[in-house]
Structure 1
Amino acid sequence: MLIGRVDTDAGTLTVRLDDDGEFVPMEDPYAAFAAGRAAQDVGDAVQGTLVAPAMPTVIVGIAQNGPAHASPVQAWLKSPRTVIGPSAHVALRRDAGTTVAEAEVAVVIGRDTTGLTAENAHEYVLGLTAVNDLSSPDRTASDPRNFESKAGVGYTPLGPVIDTAVSIDDDLAMALVVDGVRVAETSAGRLPSGIRGALAYVARWLPLGPGDVVMTGAPFSAAPVAPGAVVDVVVGRMTLRTLTS
């Protein structure tokens, strides 16, 4: 199932995308997930615009989970106020050096993570989506805690939908496309720290809940971007577009 959120004349609704790409309103998918069943439709197809498919209370980034990083899994926090949806616009900071786009798999948590281990992590995951973890790496020279380097209005494009049919064990194809040019091509299987272990590490220290997001790292999927670039993050069958200025 592909789960999204759309802005409509009646407000923001949770929907599934049917085979024709129409938006069908559905009940709360997190409540259904916690009850161990599929969410049910609650109305006919509607017209609307996709927004971020989750509104996390907590966003966790997995640190040093890219090329040439051999250290144990670590994590950091990013503000949920930086989340924007698909095809949204973000003004890149001019005061923070180079901006880098990072194509990543984002795990959307389905229920309270008490009891989550590496072995049972899949039981706590609603689905996966794409995220563009926009960053300002030049700031790490004076800000090793990632606060400045990961801050910025709209610096966490998320979406376009949550894919519940894929698994945290799938070697999902990933790509970063800038202005139509495929500048990076990789897969989730190239993450030095696997998704199961990353989730178990996070849950050991920090409780997560429905709608929270764990960004799993950029395995050879990052590239600098300039203002005006159109950036596409491809994760499995999802493509997340970000417009910049």
Structure 2
Amino acid sequence: MRIARVETPAGVRTVRLADDGSWIPITDPYAAFADGRRPADEGDPVAGRLLAPCEPIVVVGIAQNGPDHAAPVQAWLKSPRTVTGSGASVALRRDAGTTVAEAEIAVVIGRDTTGLTAANAHEYVLGMTAVNDLSSPDRSVLDPRNFESKAGAGYTPLGPWIDTGLSLDADLALALIVDDEPVRQTSAARLPVSLRDCLSYVAGWNVLGPGDVIMMGAPFSAAPIHPGARVDVVVADVRLRTATF
């Protein structure tokens, strides 16, 4: 199932993508997930602007999960207020040096992660989506905790939907496309630490809940961008598009 959130004249609705391309309202997918059932359809198709597919209280970034890191995996926190939806326009900061787009797999948590291990991690995951972890790496020299280097309004484009059919164990294709030109192409198999092990690490330190997001790192999938660039992040069949200015 592909789950999204749509802003309609009657308010925000959680929806699923139908075979004909329409958006069908559904009941709470997190309550359904916790009960081990599929969310029910709820009314006629709706139209409107796509929002980020979830509203995380916690956004976790995985560090030390790229080609140049020999240290054990670690994590950091990014403000959920930086999250925006696919199709949004993001103003790149002019006061923070180079801006880098990072194409990453985003795991969306389905329920309280108490008891999550690497072996059972799939039992806690609603699905996966695409995320562009926009960053200002020049700031990291003075900001080792990533507050400044990861800040910026709209600096976490997410979506456009959560794909509940993607597997933690699949070698998901991952691509970064800038101005319609592929600049990075890789896959989940090139992550030095697996999705399961990353989830287990994070859950061992911090309990997450429904709608929270873990960004899994950028293995060979980051590139500098300029204001005015159109940036796409592709995870399997999920394509996230962001305009910048």
What's the TM-score, normalizing by structure 1?
Answer: 0.99
Judge conservation of contact 1:70–1:192 (CA < 8 Å) in 2: no
Q: Does 1:151 align with 2:151?
A: yes
Equivalence for 2:102: 102
Q: Does 1:10 align with 2:10?
A: yes
Inter-partner Cα distance in structure 2 for 1:117 and 1:176: 30
Deviation per CA, 1:36-88, whole angstroms, max 9, x where unpaired?
Answer: 11111011111112110010000000002111212111000000000000010
Residue type at the aligned position of 1:141: V
Inter-partner Cα distance in structure 2 for 1:177 and 1:20: 27
Equivalence for 2:80: 80
Inter-partner Cα distance in structure 1 for 2:206 and 2:35: 23
User: How many Å apart are 1:21 and its aligned residue?
Assistant: 1.3
Q: Does 1:234 align with 2:234?
A: yes
Equivalence for 2:62: 62
Residue type at the aligned position of 1:156: T
Structure 1 SS opposite 2:162: strand
Residue type at the aligned position of 2:123: E
Equivalence for 1:91: 91
Inter-partner Cα distance in structure 1 for 2:187 and 2:40: 32
Equivalence for 2:28: 28
User: How many Å apart are 1:23 and its aligned residue?
Assistant: 0.3
Inter-partner Cα distance in structure 2 for 1:75 and 1:67: 16
Equivalence for 1:166: 166
Structure 2: any 5+ residue segments left out of the alignment? none
Inter-partner Cα distance in structure 1 for 2:20 and 2:238: 15
Residue type at the aligned position of 1:20: D
Equivalence for 2:44: 44
CA RMSD of aligned residues (A): 0.5
User: How many Å apart are 1:218 and its aligned residue?
Assistant: 0.4
Residue type at the aligned position of 2:200: A
4+ residue runs over 4 A deviation: none
Inter-partner Cα distance in structure 2 for 1:136 and 1:67: 19
Inter-partner Cα distance in structure 1 for 2:22 and 2:188: 29
Alignment of 1:192-211 (within 5 A): 192-211=192-211
User: How many Å apart are 1:241 and its aligned residue?
Assistant: 0.3
Equivalence for 1:138: 138
